[in-house]
Chains A and B, each alone.
Chain A
Amino acid sequence: MLSELSVAAAEGVELLERPEEPAVESKVGGGLSGRELTKVQELVYELKIGEVMTREVVTIGPEQTIAELDELLRVNGIAGVPVLADGNLVGIVSVQDLIRALKAGALQEPVARWMTANVITLRQDESVIEAVRAFARYRVGRLPVVDDEGRVVGIVTGGDITRGLLRALELGYHAEEVSRYRASHIFEDIESDETSLRLRYFIAPRDFARGGEASRKIKRALQRLGGHPSLVRRVVIVAYEAEMNIVIHSDRGGELLVEVNPERVHVVATDDGPGIEDVQLAMTPGFSTAPDWIKEMGFGAGMGLPNIQRWADEFKIESKPGWGTRLDIVVKAGRQRALGRGPAERNVR
């Protein structure tokens, strides 16, 4: 799947850089970050050919002359047209065919003699990636789109696809803006005497590769809720330390429960063991029970709990050997910096 995706991406990029559309190409090729590229990859699968194709198709008849073809391409500013006989697709003729014909001095010959008769066609409900693949495979720049009866309903070029992708990216961007705006006003929009949002994250033991993922999701949630950067930073530090404590020390994993209301973020981290022998000692900066192999990874510096203590407004720890550990951490938003009430929204980044 992954290799197929990267093939698609490579083809997609090649398509976007088709010299036919220099203006659009530089716009796309220049500023795409890794994340947007992934979005483009998704879109080439999601978007349907019918959504990007040109519906007003310029066509030519097989008996019309090369001179007429020359005129048609020039007037419409296009590089190829399908050839229709009584409404049926019988060929496609491009500017390359025109050049060959002109070199041969065939100005008055019928188009039928110079066109490609074996036409590859696409269908409206196929995804854009099929067009991208067909362009690459058959080394062509445009393909007609036909319906069930084989009638031409549109034509698609690399430029059509580029424009379709850009439009979809822009729409996606607006959707993100809207949902971000909505999230950042959630506590205003919903009436109650006290509204809070509860987010629960399950943490697997010893899964270092995924360690920090819950904290990343918490960070994103708080940013969407319009959290001030300093609040987000403090919550992320305490959430990360709590999360990694569960990853490093717990036998069976645990969970982070995050309750957000406009005034504060309450993080409760629980696990089912092994529990801490001496909580006082565990709170001492530099004290760690982590084994060496974990310390070698840069964990277990003995700064986890002290870090939480330092960045939290309220911090309570309960632990019982053989039972488990529960951390209660509160980080306050502070005046003028309430969450989910809009004004801090401009700080979202």
Chain B
Amino acid sequence: MTVQQIVDALGLKVLSGDGLLERAVSGGYASDLLSYVMAKAQPGEVWVTLQAHPNVVAVASLTDVACVIITEGIQPDEVTLAKARQEGVILLGTNEDTFRTVARLAALGLEG
């Protein structure tokens, strides 16, 4: 499964990384606590969170997750978006909450 397929299936808004959506997704992880994400998110997974500040980009880049889905319709500020574009990090947005988002990812066949 690719990021693009997830974007289409869940109707996500692409906030950054338009050109990079063909990346493969291997699974997922959801948490808003960055230490847990650092320790547990694996390269190539989708990370679901409601955090939307610049350090999310740093953590996404360090863990090499495939993309970040920011829930609850929270909009990252321009600093965060610029950093994401610079580091080639895909940020996606949804108005749904984290539980609903993860449920839909699971229905697509993604595992934790």
Interface on A for B, CB 8 Å cutoff?
A: 32-35, 37-38, 208-213, 215-216, 219, 236-237, 240-241, 244, 297-299, 301, 303-304, 307, 310-311
Chain A to chain B: the 9 pairs with minimum beta-carbon distance, closest first: A212-B58, A303-B35, A301-B33, A209-B54, A298-B34, A298-B51, A301-B35, A34-B88, A298-B32
Count chain B CB atoms within 10 A of each CB in A33, A240, A244 and give the residue with the most: A240
Contact digits for B24-54, partner A, Cβ 8 Å, 1 yes 0 no: 0000000011111111000000000101011
Which of the residues B19, B35, B59, B88 comes within 8 Å of A212, measured between beta carbons?
B59
Q: Give Cα A150 to B109, complex, Å.
A: 67
Listed A/B pairs (9) with beta-carbon separation below 8 Å: A208-B53, A209-B54, A209-B79, A212-B58, A215-B58, A237-B39, A297-B34, A301-B35, A303-B39
* Interface residues on chain B, number (Cβ under 8 Å): 27
B106 at the interface (CB under 8 A from A): no
A240-B62 contact, Cβ under 8 Å, with A34-B20, A303-B39: yes
B61 at the interface (CB under 8 A from A): yes
Q: Give Cα A210 to B19, complex, Å.
A: 25
B85 at the interface (CB under 8 A from A): yes
13 more A-B residue pairs beyond the given contacts A34-B88, A209-B79, A212-B59, with a C-beta to C-beta distance below 8 A = A33-B88, A34-B20, A35-B88, A38-B86, A211-B58, A212-B61, A240-B38, A240-B58, A244-B34, A297-B34, A297-B51, A298-B33, A298-B51
Q: Are A34 and B17 in contact (CB under 8 A)?
A: yes
Q: Give Cα A304 to B61, complex, Å.
A: 18
Interface residues of B in 43-83 (CB under 8 A from A): 49, 51, 53-56, 58-59, 61-62, 79, 83
Q: Give Cα A236 to B36, complex, Å.
A: 14
Q: Give Cα A237 to B38, complex, Å.
A: 6
Across-interface contacts of A212 in B (CB, < 8 A)? 55, 58-59, 61-62
A301-B19 contact, Cβ under 8 Å, with A34-B85, A212-B58, A219-B62: no
B63 CB to closest chain A CB (Å) equals 8
Which of the residues A35, A213, A215, A303 comes within 8 Å of B36, measured between beta carbons?
A303
Which of the residues A33, A35, A216, A310 comes within 8 Å of B39, measured between beta carbons?
A310
A242 CB to closest chain B CB (Å) equals 12
Q: Are B62 and A208 in contact (CB under 8 A)?
A: no
Q: Are A236 and B39 in contact (CB under 8 A)?
A: no
